[in-house]
Structure 1
């Protein structure tokens, strides 16, 4: 039973009776995701209690049971507009509990020890996820084409901007993803969009604005290794098409 300083949102391991607290670290105007993995090595689910602003009721996050630390993450979204402090507690009535956790956003974690924290090249090439992967990039102010692909059931990743998040689930099972997504307070849920598909790939377009975008996966080791992301700038394609149009209009072959 211990108190854990979680001010940097870093990857931690919590056991029975432990509480991790991020004191004053959440910024107004930013959205955060608390990512929890069950690392107990058995099939028993673990409940984690989330508290923050005293005017808001606690929220219980159920972290799915798994074996060999291979399960999906449970995610709790929280808005910095409602609380600057957030705490996660594993109660004493859960012997043998073990949960790995970190805070994800465009800001967090500021201590990336144990996190696969990498710049994502916007080159249209396929880049592989790993467990605890945080890709980041600063797209310019034009359009991009993105795609996430996985051949395993219900691969989940989250795209963060400063004050929004999009949960993307590919190859989604009939059970959906509602059982692993929760919200603290009242302001986080309206800022989160969920896109699910039963197909193995999810393509989408987005426009950059010079602000950072972050992509974090929320899946197990083996599932992450079978998943990829690619983002390609469409500006070059548009410029090439425009040049071709100019040449055609001028009668140049």
Structure 2
């Protein structure tokens, strides 16, 4: 097996196999939090370990990507703080024959120009829209309150909300410990909140500040068939109720 290194500067969706490394060089911004999404794409049920290198002085992070068949598993997540590094790499080592992992980098900035990732502006009208796998919604909410709503009838449906240097992992129908799928490089954990609820619907408040928010699906293709997400401007809702 010949070792190969792939340019990952756009954080684009790509596939890593045995002996491959993807490297994003100098393209992580200070003041932003990033998440590496890993899906097991092997046609077998073997676990894969991805080695994430983010520092020359700190040891790599080992990310377990659970085995599945037919690309049906959840994503494993690894958060990286752009204040601590501007470069990150992900590698599938030589000792994992048959390994295949689909991966991309998510944030308010990434992935950029990535075939295979749906980039959609989420309108703040409260209308539920399908939240398919490999979908990245974005919006720049104005400076007032909004309500986000996530719905799914699938167990352990998981998504990530990004706001500059903060992230919120939202899980509905939780059935097991969600932290098993989440790892952190350096001090990234202090910027991540995990909200896991046993219900099919989860709503939370969001205060706009003129900065971009991003929502990314971290679930499998089949688990995302019935999932929806919505963004409701509460100011607009109030105005409508007042007949304005």
TM bracket, shorter-chain basis: over 0.9
- How many pairs were matched up? 242
Q: TM-score, normalised by structure 2?
A: 0.96
Q: What is residue 180 of structure 1 aligned with on the other side?
A: 181
Q: SS of the counterpart of 1:4?
A: strand
Q: Which has the larger radius of gyration?
A: 1
Shift of 1:242: 5.7
Q: Which runs of 4+ in 1 moved over 4 A?
A: 240-244
Shift of 1:57: 1.3
Q: 2:207 matched to 1:207?
A: yes
Cα distance in 1 for partners of 2:196, 2:227 equals: 15
Q: What is residue 90 of structure 2 aligned with on the other side?
A: 88
Q: What is residue 20 of structure 1 aligned with on the other side?
A: 22
Q: TM-score, normalised by structure 1?
A: 0.93
Q: Which of 92, 100, 120 matches 2:102?
A: 100
Q: What is residue 219 of structure 1 aligned with on the other side?
A: 219
Shift of 1:122: 1.0
Q: What is residue 6 of structure 1 aligned with on the other side?
A: 8
Cα distance in 2 for partners of 1:50, 1:67 equals: 24
Structure 1: unaligned runs, 5 residues or longer: 245-253
Q: Which of 143, 155, 164 matches 1:153?
A: 155
Cα distance in 1 for partners of 2:160, 2:222 equals: 18
Cα distance in 2 for partners of 1:131, 1:160 equals: 17
Q: SS of the counterpart of 2:238?
A: helix
Q: What is residue 132 of structure 1 aligned with on the other side?
A: 134
Structure 2: unaligned runs, 5 residues or longer: none
For the aligned residue pairs, the C-alpha RMSD in angstroms reads 1.2
Summarize deviations over 1:145-191 as a string: whole Å, max 9, x none: 11100100100000000110000000000x22111100011x21000
Summarize deviations over 1:50-72 as a string: whole Å, max 9, x none: 10211221110001111000100
Shift of 1:101: 0.2
